[in-house]
Homo-oligomer: A and B are copies of this chain.
Amino acid sequence: MRISEAAARSGLNVDTIRYYEAEGLVPNVVRGSDGQRRFSPENVDWLTLLYWLRETGMPMKVMQRFAALYAQGDATIQDRKSILLDHSQLLAKRRDDLDRCDEILARKLEIYEEYLR
């Protein structure tokens, strides 16, 4: 499939996909005879994973390492696993942040309510 469909399916936007590819985050993207990118289902799965990692705060540098490992094949699975495990730690931290912020908002809103009465 072409880039717009890959974008629609992965959640990334077209420009971001091109940018990611230029940064070495998307291995194995082939080109048709027209010079346009063709994305395989595996490419799209990969982009989708990148989308979620990025959306939840994984820095580009880490994604680059992750992508480099992915490009090297199955021998790197242990390393990739530990990157993802680290990322779940980050998710937990983010969840705590959300909880903390929720509390603060609740308190603030309570004060507003009091004022409004």
Q: A52-B101, A115-B74, A116-B78 are in contact. Are A108 and B94 (CB under 8 A)?
A: no
Indicate how many identical chains form the complex.
Answer: 2
Query: Are A97's CB and B56's CB within 8 A?
Result: yes
A105 beta carbon closer than 8 Å to chain B: yes
Given the complex, which residues of B lie within 8 Å of A52, measured CB to CB?
Answer: 97, 100-101, 104
Given the complex, which residues of B lie within 8 Å of A98, measured CB to CB?
Answer: 56, 91, 94-95, 98
Distance in Å from the Cβ of A5 to the closest Cβ of chain B?
A: 20
Contact with B along A76-103 (1 / 0, CB 8 A): 0110110011011001001101101110
A29 beta carbon closer than 8 Å to chain B: no
In the bound assembly, the distance between CA atoms of A72 and B84 in angstroms comes to: 46
Distance in Å from the Cβ of A80 to the closest Cβ of chain B?
A: 7
* Best-surrounded residue of A52, A77, A101, A105 (most CB of chain B within 10 A): A101
Closest 5 CB pairs of A and B: A56-B101, A52-B101, A81-B112, A77-B112, A91-B98
